[in-house]
Amino acid sequence: MSAAAPKSVESPSLEPSCRDTAAHALSIVRDGVITGEGPTTKGRVHFSRSLDADDTAWCTRILTATAVNDQPVSRTEAEVLFEINEAATERTDGGRFDDLLAKAVAHYAASASGLKVPPRCVALSADTEIESWAPSYASRVNGEMLEWIAGQMRGKRHNNRRLMAMVATFLGATALPLAGQLPNVFDIGM
């Protein structure tokens, strides 16, 4: 990633944030997953609609870059991760992307609810269990976030069991009334 341009004094709100840059970089990974071509697939065999360990490593590097590490995952970043999840009909990454998606969505949902979240390098690490930080937010994440997550998952052909379990655990009892309204989204034995 290149260094961000200096902020303009006249219109600082027009300057992209580092999280915007990260979301754009994730969209390049998404395009590579969809087409099997592009800068994230160079030098390796990559089939369209497949997600492999290298794709997941790209997502992890982007999401934990120094420029964004101390910022919460943004809604746009989470939405692009959902797009990658939906685009990848074949997985050969050993479940690592599912884990990353669940952790990134939990990070976004907690921060959007006004809760303090751990740095990305901790929260999104493959070595960090989501249960070590996310359950402490149970019932303090607002219902709007649960509805947003459910909306992202509704009607998708590839539902992330890790994410569904995280939602139930992460939001605790708050998830039960909404889960009853969305039986096609939450099929985890509630």
Structure tokens belonging to residue 136: 């402490």
| Claim: this prediction has a pTM higher than 0.85 | no
Radius of gyration of the chain (CA): 17
Domain residue spans in the chain? 16-181
If you average pLDDT over residues 20-38, what whole number do you get?
97
Q: How far is CA 38 from CA 30, 47, 71, in A?
A: 10, 12, 28
Considering only 2-6, 80-84, 88-92, which range has the smallest mean pLDDT?
2-6
* Predicted local confidence at residue 185, as pLDDT: 44
The answer to whether 162 and 98 are in contact (CB under 8 A) is yes
If you average pLDDT over residues 4-15, what whole number do you get?
37
The answer to whether 153 and 98 are in contact (CB under 8 A) is no
Structure tokens belonging to residue 116: 């303090």
Considering only 44-48, 89-93, 130-134, 171-175, which range has the smallest mean pLDDT?
171-175
22 — pLDDT class (breaks 50, 70, 90): very high
pLDDT at 183 over 90: no
The region that residue 189 occupies, defined by phi over 0 for left and psi between -120 and 50 for alpha, beta otherwise, is left
Q: H/E/C letters for each residue in the chain?
A: CCCCCCCCCCCHHHCCCHHHHHHHHHHHHHHHHHHCCCCCCCCCCCCCCEEEHHHHHHHHHHHCCCCCCCCCCCHHHHHHHHHHHHHCCEEECCCHHHHHHHHHHHHHHHHHCCCCCCCHHHHCCCCCCHHHCHHHHCCCCCHHHHHHHHHHHCCCCCCCHHHHHHHHHHHHHHHHHHHHHCCCCCCCCC
Q: Count of residues for the chain?
A: 190
Read off the pLDDT of residues 121-174 as tens digits, 9 standing for 90 and up: 999 999 999 888 887 776 788 888 888 888 888 877 666 777 777 666 655 545
